[in-house]
Structure 1
Amino acid sequence: MASLPRIAPMLATPGRLPPASADDAYAYEVKQDGQRCIVYLPGDGSVQLRARSGTDITPAYPELRDLGTALGSRPAVLDGEIIAPDGEGRSDFQLLQSRMGLAGDPARAARMAAKIPVHLMLFDVVFLDTGSLTHIPYIERRNVLELLGLSEAAWSTPAAVVGHGRQALEATRSAGLEGLVAKRLTSLYEPGVRSRAWIKIRHVRTEDIVIGGWAPGRGRLTSLPGALLMGQPGPGGGLHYVGSVGTGWSVAERTALATLLRAAATETCPFTERPPVTAARWVEPRLVGEVRYTTRTRAGRLRQPSWHRLRLDLTLDDLA
């Protein structure tokens, strides 16, 4: 059995598509919404899965056990992402959450695997046979990975396209996917580094929301909002809670919002269901804001929301 080196995953930097003049210098992969995973295949039929933190998560995903024999006796270290596909084959992080954290309970992990199977998307190979591949360019590692032929029901090697970044981004938008990762063809694998050679481009959406409450900031910011509690009119009437937003504003904007929130204060929760937020303070639902976010959860919550601006030109009635 080979002794495999522990390798921390290389990370992408948030950004925009490379300029058109550099388009052909990048490969584009679909950005998956799952759990990053480094796969260790010693060549003895076993497999070990480690999360980005280094934690051993192998027992949480029993359906990936057979990956240990996929390369026979060839030792390898692979990089990928574990996803839980929805009914249309798209990664659904909310589904995956029911599978995460079960490494200490193999029996429950096996039961959940039967209900919500996962799929491992493999996008890099950083060690093979007797040597590290971190020092060779991405395009060469990618060719090696594809030649391994890793494609089964529970794992696969998704496609990467060289150039055509704008078309690829639009295709992921149309398909309802999270975005792209642009990888420079000449980039080496930098373990544990958030590198500018890999750029993650998310589809950012905007939504008008109603502020129904807020939670105080911490320390010297307790008199200012640390998070705004957001709602939207629901089909059955009332203000439905869609999450909280606590990033994206300047100190001046936070201070101005605090004044407006105090003027709209009320003792009554305006949401149809009381949000599970400690120390929440309620306001009359008359302030409208615009937030940016990536996707919605199955429960309708906005994922990764960021404050954009106050919409003084809109009221709750405008959103109904």
Structure 2
Amino acid sequence: MATLPRIAPMLATPGTLPPAATDDQWAFEVKQDGQRAVVYLPGDGTVELLARSGADITAAYPELAALGPALDGVPAVLDGEIVALDSQGRSDFERLQSRMGLSGSPARAARMAERVPAHLVLFDALFLRGTSLLPLPYTERRAALEDLGLGGAHWSTPAVVVGHGEEALGMTREAGLEGLIAKRLSSAYEPGVRARTWIKIRHVHTVDVVVGGWVPGRGRLDGLPGALLVGERHEGGLRYAGNVGTGWSDAERTTLGELLRVAEIDTCPFDGVPPIAGARWVLPRLVGEVRYATRTRAGRLRQPSWHRLRPDLAPDDLE
């Protein structure tokens, strides 16, 4: 059995598509919405999965145990993302959440594996047959990964596109996917580094929301909003859509704090009271524009960030 090196995953930097003039120097992969995992396969038929934090998550995904024998005794360290797929084959983080955190409960993990099967998307080879591949360019590591021929019911090695970034991004938008990861063809693998040679490009959505409450910040933000509780108007009420805790400058936070204090009320303006500790309620009259990545099945905003106040809009304008 081979002794495998521990390798922290390389991270992508948020950004935009590379310039068109250098488009052919980049590979484009679909951005998955799941749990990052470094996969350790010592060659004895076993598998060990470590999360980005270094936590051992092997027991949470028993269906991935069969990957060990699939490599036929070849010791390897691979990089990938564990996802749960929806009915259209797209990664769905909300579905995956029911599988996460079950490493301490193997029996429950096994039951959940039948209800919500996990799928491992492999995208890099870091160590193979006793040799580190980290210094090699992306193209050589990718070729080594593809040569392993790893495809199965619970794992795959999806194809990548070299060049044609605009077309690839448009395709993911039309398919309802989260976005792309652009990887420079010449890039080495830099463990634990958020590198500019890997760029994540997300599709960003915007929505106009009504502020119905807020949660005070802590420390230097005491008395200022740490998060806004926002909703969407519908006939007869205000439906809670989530909380927004990023995206504003210090000046904007101060302005929002002043507006919220003036509008404070004792009762929750949402259709149902969201279970938010320390929430304070306000008259639902402030409208803002929020950016977000996707929505949950319940309609909540995922990864929302504040964009701007909309003083030109009244809540009734949103119905």
Question: What residue in structure 2 maps to residue 146 of structure 1?
Answer: 146
Question: What residue in structure 2 maps to residue 278 of structure 1?
Answer: 277
Alignment of 1:54-65 (within 5 A): 54-65=54-65
Question: What residue in structure 2 maps to residue 111 of structure 1?
Answer: 111
Question: What residue in structure 1 maps to residue 317 of structure 2?
Answer: 318
**Residues 71-125 of structure 1: per-residue CA shift (max 9 Å, x gap):** 1011011000000001111111011010001011000000000000010000000
Following the alignment from structure 2 to structure 1, what is the Cα–Cα distance between the partners of residues 130 and 259? 64
| Amino acid in structure 1 at the alignment position of 2:127 | F
Alignment of 1:29-44 (within 5 A): 29-44=29-44
Alignment of 1:1-12 (within 5 A): 1-12=1-12
**Secondary structure of 2:302's partner?**
coil
1:192 aligns with 2:192: yes
Following the alignment from structure 2 to structure 1, what is the Cα–Cα distance between the partners of residues 134 and 227? 42
| Amino acid in structure 2 at the alignment position of 1:223 | G
Alignment of 1:19-98 (within 5 A): 19-98=19-98
Question: What residue in structure 1 maps to residue 130 of structure 2?
Answer: 130
Following the alignment from structure 2 to structure 1, what is the Cα–Cα distance between the partners of residues 43 and 125? 15
Q: Judge which range, 272-281 or 116-125, deviates more.
A: 272-281
TM-score using structure 1 length = 0.98
Query: Percent identical across equivalent pairs?
Result: 71
Following the alignment from structure 2 to structure 1, what is the Cα–Cα distance between the partners of residues 74 and 226? 52
Following the alignment from structure 1 to structure 2, what is the Cα–Cα distance between the partners of residues 121 and 78? 10
Query: Any gaps of 5 or more consecutive residues in structure 1?
Result: none
Give, in angstroms, the shift of residue 297 of structure 1: 1.0
**Secondary structure of 1:69's partner?**
helix
TM-score using structure 2 length = 0.98
**Secondary structure of 2:21's partner?**
helix
Question: What residue in structure 2 maps to residue 303 of structure 1?
Answer: 302
1:161 aligns with 2:161: yes
Following the alignment from structure 1 to structure 2, what is the Cα–Cα distance between the partners of residues 250 and 60? 40
**Residues 152-195 of structure 1: per-residue CA shift (max 9 Å, x gap):** 01000011100000100010011110000000000001111111
Following the alignment from structure 2 to structure 1, what is the Cα–Cα distance between the partners of residues 221 and 185? 46
Following the alignment from structure 1 to structure 2, what is the Cα–Cα distance between the partners of residues 49 and 162? 29
| Amino acid in structure 2 at the alignment position of 1:123 | F
Following the alignment from structure 2 to structure 1, what is the Cα–Cα distance between the partners of residues 7 and 271? 48
| Amino acid in structure 1 at the alignment position of 2:278 | A
Give, in angstroms, the shift of residue 250 of structure 1: 1.1
Following the alignment from structure 2 to structure 1, what is the Cα–Cα distance between the partners of residues 192 and 251? 36
Question: What residue in structure 2 maps to residue 256 of structure 1?
Answer: 255
Following the alignment from structure 1 to structure 2, what is the Cα–Cα distance between the partners of residues 13 and 251? 24
Following the alignment from structure 2 to structure 1, what is the Cα–Cα distance between the partners of residues 263 and 121? 48
**Secondary structure of 1:243's partner?**
strand
Following the alignment from structure 1 to structure 2, what is the Cα–Cα distance between the partners of residues 196 and 223? 37
Question: What residue in structure 2 maps to residue 178 of structure 1?
Answer: 178
Query: Any gaps of 5 or more consecutive residues in structure 2?
Result: none
Question: What residue in structure 2 maps to residue 266 of structure 1?
Answer: 265
Give, in angstroms, the shift of residue 134 of structure 1: 0.4
Which stretches of structure 1, 4 residues or longer, exceed 2 Å deviation after superposition? none
Give, in angstroms, the shift of residue 220 of structure 1: 3.1
Question: What residue in structure 1 maps to residue 289 of structure 2?
Answer: 290
Following the alignment from structure 1 to structure 2, what is the Cα–Cα distance between the partners of residues 110 and 169? 36
| Amino acid in structure 1 at the alignment position of 2:4 | L
Q: CA RMSD in A?
A: 0.9
